[in-house]
Structure 1
């Protein structure tokens, strides 16, 4: 089977940027949505999927609408649940706890939050069910990192090496299973 493209886009800037927004359903700003629409120009997609959170869905809707591509909403593409840290600026979190999380988010998840392995498992399930056609997924920074770990084999330390600002787009060429091969062909930030 021939290769297909998978595009992973981080949603546009939310109204309250610079905070850990997991389950918090803050909308993207108009400028954030426009940045995603501009970033998506020039990519051809047959399908668009999005997290069920409004900051991702609104960006996906604005990209898909003019193309006549309806958005398939999938909550498995949500951001990591930051538990009691949700909505907080990183500076408001005990530095040692935040450092432990970034060092090993599975062993040191946010209090009452989600383990990294749970995020990676749900993203892996979403990826496994995707048809082999050109697809754009509008999602969150953590979900993109989980997808890169699943598809490219990056470990937890390597995935933090990528800067994924709002409206970032990771372009992947995928040769499907049984022996899936993945190549990163672009990172626009």
Structure 2
């Protein structure tokens, strides 16, 4: 992560794979750390932890085609993920950093730009990526733009 990046606070998913890095960053930058479950990854239900090739291909194809009509068994729909991330975005502090997961990052891009679920999967979002968004909100609406996307970053 660039040292010249202004970060006034860090908000993290409560899942360990995000929270561990968030704790390290908060300590290194001496900023407040907030934990927020709304930044969790999409709940894949019965598919959680499975490699895509382990999921029945017909069910996976239906999910990719329409993740609202065909969410993972016992899991979360795309619109549910978008709703909770949209709510979390409105609570993010100015110059705040959210340490989260790929699905939540894509949902944030969808919420602020209006891109649909197919479009947000059209760009590479590698593990450890730094996605910068300019966000504005008002009257319960969230909008914004992508201002930077950097590949894997090391604190």
TM-score normalised by L of structure 2: 0.89
User: Where does structure 1 differ by over 6 angstroms across 4 or more consecutive aligned residues?
Assistant: none
Who is 1:27 aligned against?
Answer: none
Structure-2 residue corresponding to 1:9: none
Partner of 2:107: 146
Q: Residues 181, 147 of structure 1: CA spacing in aligned structure 2 closer, same or farther, 3 A cutoff? A: closer
CA contact (8 A) 1:40 1:63 kept: no
Determine the structure 1 residue equivalent to 2:96.
135
- Post-superposition Cα deviations, 1:43-97, rounded to whole Å, max 9, x if no partner, equal 1110100000011001111111011112100000000110111111111111121
Report what 2:25 is aligned to: 63
Q: Does residue 77 of structure 2 align to residue 118 of structure 1?
A: no
Task: Provide TM-score, normalisation by structure 1.
Answer: 0.74
Task: Give the whole-Å Cα distance in 1 for the aligned partners of 2:48 and 2:10.
Answer: 27
5+ residue gaps, structure 1: 1-38
1:170 aligns with one of 120, 131, 134: 131
Q: For residues 133 and 148 of structure 2, what CA distance do their matches in structure 1 show?
A: 7
Cα offset for 1:167? 0.6
Q: How does 1:1-189 map to 2 (within 5 A)?
A: 39-131=1-93, 133-177=94-138, 181-189=143-151
Cα separation, 1, equivalents of 2:48 and 2:108: 22
Query: What value does the CA root-mean-square deviation take over the aligned residues?
Result: 1.6
How many equivalent residue pairs?
150
